[in-house]
Amino acid sequence: MSYRLFIISFLLCATIIGCKKDSVIPKPNAQLRLEYNQGMPALLQTDAFTFQYNKLATAKAQSNLAYTLEYSELRGNIFLSYEKVDNDIKKLIYSAKKLSYEHAAKADNIIEQPYVNKEDNVYGALFVVEGNAASQVQFYATDSTNHFLTGSVYFHIKPNYDSILPAATYLQNDIRGIMESLRWK
C-alpha cells in the first residue's frame, strides 16, 4: 500500500512540476510620458482687459486687438482676438462657435463647456476638440455688452491627436487659467 501511495505521489508531483511551461509574456509597448513645467503666472494688460497667463509663454501683441502666446517648448500658440460688442453679441457668439465646429470634419468629438463668473462679469465657453483637428481648444469670453475675447490653440506640426494630447491638455489648462483670471476694464 505504501508503494502505491509513493507511486501516486510521485506521479502527481511529476505531473504538477513537469507541466509547468516557461511561457514568454511580452511586455506592453511603452508610452512616452511628457511632463511640462508648471510655470509662473504673468500678467497681460491691455486697454480693454487683463488676465494671467503662463510665464513659460512669450506674449506678443500682433495689434491692439490681437495677441499671441507662444509656447516654444510645446511648439504651439494660443491666438487671442478682441472685439468690442456693438449690439452684435449674437453674431460674435455665433462666429466663435462656428470656428469651433468647423473642426467637426476632422474631430472625433467636440465638448463645449460653459463658463460663468457673475462676480467679474465674465461669461463664455471652452471648446475641447478630440481628434486630428487643426485646433484642439478654442474659447470665447464676454461681458455681453462691451467686450468679446476669443482664443484658439494651434501647433506648428501636422495634427496627430495621440502625439499632441499632452501638450493640448497643458494648453487647455492654461486657457482655463486665462478665463478664470480675465477682468474687463
CATH number at residue 139: 3.40.1000.10
Give this prediction's pTM: 0.78
Please check whether residue 174 lies inside any domain of the structure. yes
Please check whether residue 178 lies inside any domain of the structure. yes
Q: How many domains does the chain have?
A: 1
Please check whether residue 117 lies inside any domain of the structure. yes
Q: Which domain holds residue 174?
A: 41-184
Please check whether residue 25 lies inside any domain of the structure. no
Q: Which three cell numbers stand for residue 183?
A: 477682468
Please check whether residue 153 lies inside any domain of the structure. yes
Interval 95-110: pLDDT, tens: 998 887 876 677 788 8
Interval 4-62: pLDDT, tens: 777 777 666 666 665 555 566 666 665 555 677 788 899 999 999 999 999 999 999 99
CA atoms within 13 A on the CB side of 157: 15
Please check whether residue 2 lies inside any domain of the structure. no
Please check whether residue 35 lies inside any domain of the structure. no
The Cα 117–Cα 144 span in angstroms is 12
Let me know: does 76 contact 60? Beta carbons within 8 Å: no
Please check whether residue 73 lies inside any domain of the structure. yes
Q: Which among 117, 119, 114, 118 is positioned nearest to 93, based on CA atoms?
A: 114
